[in-house]
Chain A
Amino acid sequence: MIKFFLMVNKQGQTRLSKYYEHVEINKRTLLETEVIKSCLSRSNEQCSFIEYKDFKLIYQQYAALFIVVGVNDTENEMAIYEFVHNFVEVLDEYFSRVIIHNGGICCYIFVHIHNVTI
């Protein structure tokens, strides 16, 4: 089960966050900082799954943008990993390449109007 979905740039700024379980607002910032820190410290040789507290992070990097999904431990890692790519392809198609660069508002709108729940 997906717990949260984040898009964070290399500078550590969150460009998009969507939580599927309640997390208090002030704890979100902390969580996002730690999450991006653990992603940035990984090299290409390492796998795309990180055990973090009581859940798993699955991430993919697109240029300067990380997409990180937090899941519980019964989730299928590979399915989520590929889902992230699918999501990016859909964004790409939908916004014709404009948006990946900006990351921000349009993705937000996109996620909201389509209620990306999986």
Chain B
Amino acid sequence: MPAVSKGDGMRGLAVFISDIRNCKSKEAEIKRINKELANIRSKFKGDKALDGYSKKKYVCKLLFIFLLGHDIDFGHMEAVNLLSSNKYTEKQIGYLFISVLVNSNSELIRLINNAIKNDLASRNPTFMCLALHCIANVGSREMGEAFAADIPRILVAGDSMDSVKQSAALCLLRLYKASPDLVPMGEWTARVVHLLNDQHMGVVTAAVSLITCLCKKNPDDFKTCISLAVSRLSRIVSSASTDLQDYTYYFVPAPWLSVKLLRLLQCYPPPEDAAVKGRLVECLETVLNKAQEPPKSKKVQHSNAKNAILFETISLIIHYDSEPNLLVRACNQLGQFLQHRETNLRYLALESMCMLASSEFSHEAVKTHIDTVINALKTERDVSVRQRAADLLYAMCDRSNAKQIVSEMLRYLETADYAIREEIVLKVAILAEKYAVDYSWYVDTILNLIRIAGDYVSEEVWYRVLQIVTNRDDVQGYAAKTVFEALQAPACHENMVKVGGYILGEFGNLIAGDPRSSPPVQFSLLHSKFHLCSVATRALLLSTYIKFINLFPETKATIQGVLRAGSQLRNADVELQQRAVEYLTLSSVASTDVLATVLEEMPPFPERESSILAKLKRKKGPGAGSALDDGRRDPSSNDINGGVEPTPSTVSTPSPSADLLGLRAAPPPAAPPAPASAGNLLVDVFSDGPPAQPSLGPTPEQAFLSELEPPAPESPMALLADPAPAADPGPEDIGPPIPEADDLLNKFVCKNNGVLFENQLLQIGVKSEFRQNLGRMYLFYGNKTSVQFQNFSPTVVHPGDLQTQLAVQTKRVAAQVDGGAQVQQVLNIECLRDFLTPPLLSVRFRYGGAPQSLTLKLPVTINKFFQPTEMAAQDFFQRWKQLSLPLQEAQKIFKANHPMDAEVTKAKLLGFGSALLDNVDPNPENFVGAGIIQTKALQVGCLLRLEPNAQAQMYRLTLRTSKEPVSRHLCELLAQQF
């Protein structure tokens, strides 16, 4: 069969290849190739019809030239001709050429598909296999569309040869992975499962791969595979080392098939049938027993194959997590590997043991290996093994061994590779907090962390220690004393200065009794670091100083002197300058009482999930955050909707520097960022104050500013209390929307405020804000004439099903609008479920005796209920893949209607409501966003990607959401914006 390598027929090819090899220079090679190309061209163009052999030879040469890196722009037709040859070697070269150099020339594709069709129907197994391989290698959607329906038939046909079945299974797998929608499920699925019983091991192996992939989408359809897989596995593991002949690899029977079967079983929970389960447990025990037997061969291949099965077995045992006996045996087995001389085995043992540590049955057993693991952390020469050891220590940590593990990890940190330091820091911080028995130990640990690896201590870590110290009064004195001592080191990390500054500002009074840490000493110690610090730290220290003035009146004069210094009052940095000016004035004008109130000790922070944990989860993706909620091998943990993303920690972690003054009574509730905030980027046509935001968590600045604003025209509560009945006139009462209603609506897709409509008589302005599934809209009707409008009545109408999707409460407005006057109407909007059409706004009035009526589309589109979601690239791609059903995706390619400016696009996307995710798309020109549409009934996770092509002035927009009509609708809405 190896026709090419032996070169039996194609002397010309062999000569050509050796000519090329003998070329002394690149130029000579190119010359030789050009000569050959000219020769082939003339042969193909010549009058004399070429025989199959020559065609094959020339196509082969072209292929070789292509593989050397040269472009080939002819010969496709000859290759396609070869497909219909009856000689295997000719057909094979034809297919090879097509697989490597297929292009989307439609004429050729038709011919190729025709040839494939003939071969599939030929009943000649070698031809069928060639055709199947070609389909799989090309794997394009067109190929899938043409053949996806035929292949299952070939796969389960009783008269297909083994090799054909094998190829058909793999080909189908390939097509399914490329475009799952093209592979129809049907009665063949049941018969595919029965291939697990096939005589031919190759067929079984191919079938297991296919079933493992298919069953992830439709587990119930393939449920019967469990018992078949168990019995097949049982036959393999209990067979003697030579029973399976060709499928025995270094005395191990069918190692890869065993691994695949064990993996297939991990797609399901433990078998319900007791007999099946008994048989499976027996298998697993046999594998564990065999690991203890002396090896049948000294060759490394033998033990590698055996261990591959062993590790997969342990994976399955961990997946079931229900057999204490097996879990402990698995742990002991891995324990032996921890000291094995093969690095690979030590690595894998640490990795698997990490999973075992999270099972309640084996946690204790894992803990017995703590010394070995600590030793690995110290002595392993391979950083990836050390990292696994650190992971395992983290996973096996509990109250009993926390002190030992934390101190070992701290010691490791001093020599750890830079790449993993931040992760170790996060882990130490989490363990120290989680298992702290006394909080002085916790404070010591974190300060040690900052000392050893200050650069890698992220904000979350030092925010957290401040939160804990603030919330626990038993540790405040100790914390103050410890930071004071730590600050005495001649060089200390800036993070230490931050923590020190904050803690002394709050609790410095607790150690002020000791003359060694008297207030002036504390102040001069902090101030000695001041000039070496960054702006953010200096700002924090200034706040500490004003707190000192309250805590220690005796330092007032010194501190005022510092604040008054030109370097502060005239600092080039606005923040520092402002703080210095304000604090100086505050300290001079405020009475002691006022000062004491303003600068009171910070109230306790509300308890919440540690933001460090959230950070670690984000950093490592699902699975690495905490060993206890590790869902890595659990297929049921796939979160399709993406709706339960923890709120971003930037919001849930109040910045101590902002809070230090205690200007607000309590930190804001962990509210998601206001979806409307992006509207600020766009021109706000109204100047009368920002909309009231009663339920949003304002930032301190906003909260501060909002008190300066005049009160909103009406109290929001009053609006809710007395809504006018939403008396919708029947749709027959109102006219059709005006022709430009759609254009007007489109203007408001990405913004919330602006002029909705204007003619000679009337101007209608809109201001709106949306939060979660609720919204409030202010409509301003301005009479542009000097004559009063009579019977003025604006109403909102829900056409079609909209009534059940969107609730709009309107408040009645005065029936007369004086000339030049403006009236305001408030609409409360609740999104009940996803909707496609906006409600209509019908305005009727009499102007100078003549009835006027006007119907507009109310600018309420589904994207208004977007809540932006930040996520890491990895999460994004995982979700993106999960939303891969064809109906979940909507795509549009369209011409740009506006100049393509990245900043404008960004603003529009933010206005649209999605979060913009940086560093997700490998191409920085592209935009990637994510958000959740909040409705009362359900949440719809949305991912979007916008790919501008500046050259072509085109965009490609792709939307994936968990709900099919939403994808299409959002895609259409957004596409009109660019």
Contacts and interface: CB of A to CB of B under 8 A. Distances in A.
Interface of A: 20-22, 27, 43, 45-51, 54, 73-74, 76-79, 81-83, 85-86, 94-95, 98-99, 104-106, 108-109, 112-115, 117-118
Q: 9 nearest interchain CB pairs?
A: A79-B308, A78-B308, A46-B382, A115-B133, A47-B343, A47-B347, A82-B304, A117-B170, A79-B259
A31 B808 CA distance: 53
Nearest to B170: A117
Given A54-B874, A81-B344, A85-B301, A76 B308 contact: yes
B4 interface: yes
A112 B96 contact: yes
Given A46-B381, A46-B382, A112-B137, A79 B312 contact: yes
Contacts of A73: 632
Given A51-B384, A112-B100, A86 B249 contact: yes
Contact of A46 (B95, B177, B384): B384
Contacts of A117: 136, 170, 173-174, 209
A76 B133 contact: no
B311 interface: yes
21 contacts: A20-B177, A21-B177, A22-B178, A45-B343, A46-B382, A47-B346, A47-B384, A47-B385, A73-B632, A74-B263, A76-B312, A78-B311, A82-B308, A104-B67, A108-B100, A109-B96, A112-B137, A113-B92, A115-B132, A115-B167, A118-B209
A45 B382 contact: yes
B307 interface: yes
Contacts of A85: 301, 304
Contacts of A98: 5
Contact of A105 (B64, B92, B308): B64
Interface residues of B, number: 51
A46 B305 CA distance: 20
Contacts of A22: 178
A81 B92 contact: no
Contact of A82 (B132, B255, B315): B255
Interface string B250-289: 0000011001000100000000000000000000000000
A44 to B, nearest CB: 9
A82 B301 contact: yes
Contacts of A108: 67, 100
B922 interface: yes
Given A49-B348, A77-B311, A82-B305, 12 more contacts: A20-B177, A47-B385, A48-B343, A54-B874, A78-B307, A81-B304, A86-B249, A115-B133, A115-B136, A115-B137, A117-B170, A117-B174
B60 to A, nearest CB: 10
Contacts of B95: 113
- Highest count of chain B CB atoms <10 Å: which of A20, A74, A115: A115
Given A46-B381, A117-B136, A78 B304 contact: yes
A45 B381 contact: yes
B209 A49 contact: no
A115 B96 contact: no
Contacts of B308: 76, 78-79, 81-82
B2 interface: yes
Contacts of A114: 133
Contacts of A115: 132-133, 136-137, 167, 170-171
A60 B209 CA distance: 24
Nearest to B178: A22
Interface of B: 2, 4-5, 64, 67, 92, 95-96, 99-100, 130, 132-133, 136-137, 167, 170-171, 173-174, 177-178, 209, 249, 255-256, 259, 263, 301, 304-305, 307-308, 311-312, 315, 343-344, 346-348, 381-382, 384-385, 621, 632-633, 874, 877, 922
**Chief secondary structure at chain B's binding surface:** helix
Given A78-B307, A95-B2, A113 B133 contact: yes
Given A54-B874, A77-B348, A27 B922 contact: yes
Contacts of B5: 94-95, 98-99, 106, 109
B70 to A, nearest CB: 14
A94 B137 CA distance: 21
Contacts of B92: 113
Contact of A94 (B2, B67, B305, B621): B2
B344 A78 contact: yes
A72 to B, nearest CB: 11
Contacts of A82: 249, 255, 301, 304-305, 308
A105 B5 CA distance: 10
A117 B137 CA distance: 10
A8 B384 CA distance: 22
A6 to B, nearest CB: 16
Nearest to A106: B5
A113 B311 CA distance: 32
A105 B171 CA distance: 23
A105 B344 contact: no
A54 B136 CA distance: 25
A99 B7 CA distance: 13
A101 B249 CA distance: 25
Contacts of B170: 115, 117
Contacts of A109: 4-5, 96
A95 B67 CA distance: 19
- Highest count of chain A CB atoms <10 Å: which of B92, B95, B305, B315: B305
Given A54-B877, A79-B259, A48 B137 contact: no
A49 B349 CA distance: 13
Contacts of A51: 384
Nearest to B344: A47
A74 B351 CA distance: 12
Given A82-B301, A105-B67, A112 B384 contact: no
